[in-house]
């Protein structure tokens, strides 16, 4: 439990960085940032695959198909929605919508994975979920007040950003559940191998996406400077950094956590990503969080600590 929690903490520390990219590259289309990040991830995975080649050969056709599905939904589509949401609504609002993941995943996993992981009793889980929900509500209230008090705010743009963040939420509710299913069904496979396999599976998807964007830009006569935009060195450096840290190292840490923790509990620990993303967003703003935001963060942490005390209860197998 402790080692799994520490791996989830490290994954959240790293994954919080993905919320920074769209804020640092506001003039870059979200689709280009998505395929750029995962193209870098796929290229980074190539040399890593050489060291893991023996284990990768043991993966079958069904494993690679599953890796492709996970990459398409949990990588490319998720980051496309998230980057678009952040560019439209700023950092904190999409971060807090994604911050509902611990509640959404815990509810979903507690219904679908009880036989495998045991059931977290709802009565003992409820205080944790309530604390996390209250924390998210506090931070959302602060952002909503700031929006309503800004005469220049574009409400339509904020609304579209929130809807895209909900799309990202759906993608990343599906991804950790399916990813954990594979890892728990293959306990003899090293999480590093599975992280590298997902990088390899992402590469052809990202290449195809990049080609479509480049060709589409040329076809419509866009002024955007393809293939690397107006700040090529910064764009490439940031994509490589996010591709290595957030995509490979972060996925490796999360895989390690997923093999050690019940899925419902691991889902709640995604709250670490929210906390670190908020911290990075306020650092970029150059402003301290308001008291209600700090209260919300405290409630989120309290909810996670409470959740760690809840032990799964084995569920009897159904009679044949």
Q: Which residues contact 274 (CB under 8 A, 6 or more apart)?
A: 12, 16, 95, 96, 98, 99, 101, 136, 300
- What is the percent of the chain where pLDDT is above 90? 38
b (16+ CB within 10 A) / e for 124-158 = ebeebbebbbebbebbbebbeeeeeeeeeeeeeeb
* 229-248 mean pLDDT: 91
Does any domain span residue 297? yes
- What is the percent of the chain where pLDDT is above 70? 94
Q: Please, are residues 142 and 293 in contact by the beta-carbon 8 Å criterion? A: yes
Total count of domains within the chain: 1
137 pLDDT band (50/70/90 cuts)?
confident
Residue 126, pLDDT > 60, answer yes
b (16+ CB within 10 A) / e for 248-285 = bbbbbbbbbbbbbbbbbbbbbbbbbbbbbbbebbbeee
Supply the range of the domain harboring residue 91: 2-308
Q: Tell me what the pLDDT averaged over the chain comes to.
A: 86
Place of tokens 């994604």: 98
b (16+ CB within 10 A) / e for 224-244 = eeeeebeeeeebeebbbebbb
CA distance 130 to 268: 12
Does any domain span residue 262? yes
User: What pTM was estimated for this model as a whole?
Assistant: 0.83
What is the pLDDT, as a whole number, of residue 49?
Answer: 93
320 pLDDT band (50/70/90 cuts)?
low
CA distance 28 to 164: 17
For residue 313, what are the β-bridge partners? 119
What is the pLDDT, as a whole number, of residue 316?
Answer: 62
What is the pLDDT, as a whole number, of residue 61?
Answer: 94
What is the pLDDT, as a whole number, of residue 73?
Answer: 95
> 106 or 201: whose pLDDT is higher?
201
Does any domain span residue 196? yes
Place of tokens 């950092």: 91
For residue 119, what are the β-bridge partners? 313
> pLDDT (tens digit, 9 = 90+) per residue, 59-69?
999 999 999 99
Q: Which residues contact 226 (CB under 8 A, 6 or more apart)?
A: 213, 214, 217, 218
Does any domain span residue 208? yes
What single DSSP character describes residue 28? Answer: S
36 pLDDT band (50/70/90 cuts)?
very high
Does any domain span residue 212? yes
* 33-48 mean pLDDT: 92
Does any domain span residue 81? yes
Does any domain span residue 36? yes
> pLDDT (tens digit, 9 = 90+) per residue, 170-218?
998 899 889 988 988 888 888 889 988 999 999 999 999 999 999 999 9
What is the pLDDT, as a whole number, of residue 25?
Answer: 93
Does any domain span residue 314? no
């Amino acid at each position: 439990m402790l080692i799994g929690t520490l791996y989830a903490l490290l994954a959240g520390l790293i994954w919080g960085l993905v919320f920074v990219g769209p804020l640092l590259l506001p003039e870059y289309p979200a689709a280009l940032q998505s395929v750029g990040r995962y193209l870098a991830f796929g290229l980074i995975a190539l040399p890593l695959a050489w060291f893991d080649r023996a284990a990768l050969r043991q993966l079958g056709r069904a494993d690679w198909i599953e890796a492709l599905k996970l990459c398409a939904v949990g990588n490319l589509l998720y980051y496309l929605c998230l980057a678009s949401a952040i560019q439209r609504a700023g950092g904190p609002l999409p971060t807090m919508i994604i911050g509902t993941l611990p509640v959404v995943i815990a509810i979903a996993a507690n219904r679908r994975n009880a036989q495998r992981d045991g059931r977290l009793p709802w009565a003992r889980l409820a205080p944790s979920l309530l604390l996390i929900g209250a924390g998210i509500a506090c931070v959302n209230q602060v952002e909503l007040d700031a929006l309503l008090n800004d005469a220049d705010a574009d409400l339509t743009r904020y609304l579209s950003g929130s809807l895209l963040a909900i799309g990202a939420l759906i993608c990343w509710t599906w991804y950790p559940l399916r990813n954990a299913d594979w890892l728990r069904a293959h306990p003899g496979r090293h999480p590093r191998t599975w992280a590298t396999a997902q990088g390899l599976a992402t590469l052809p998807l990202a290449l195809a996406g990049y080609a479509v964007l480049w060709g589409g830009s040329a076809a419509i006569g866009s002024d955007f400077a393809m293939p690397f935009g107006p700040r090529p060195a910064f764009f490439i450096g940031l994509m490589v950094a996010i591709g290595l840290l957030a995509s490979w190292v972060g996925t490796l840490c999360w895989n390690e956590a997923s093999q050690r923790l019940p899925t419902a509990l691991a889902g709640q620990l995604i709250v670490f990503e929210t906390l670190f993303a908020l911290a990075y967003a306020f650092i970029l703003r150059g402003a301290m969080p308001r008291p209600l935001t700090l209260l919300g963060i405290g409630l989120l942490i309290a909810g996670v600590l409470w959740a760690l005390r809840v032990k799964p209860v084995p569920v009897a197998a159904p009679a044949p």
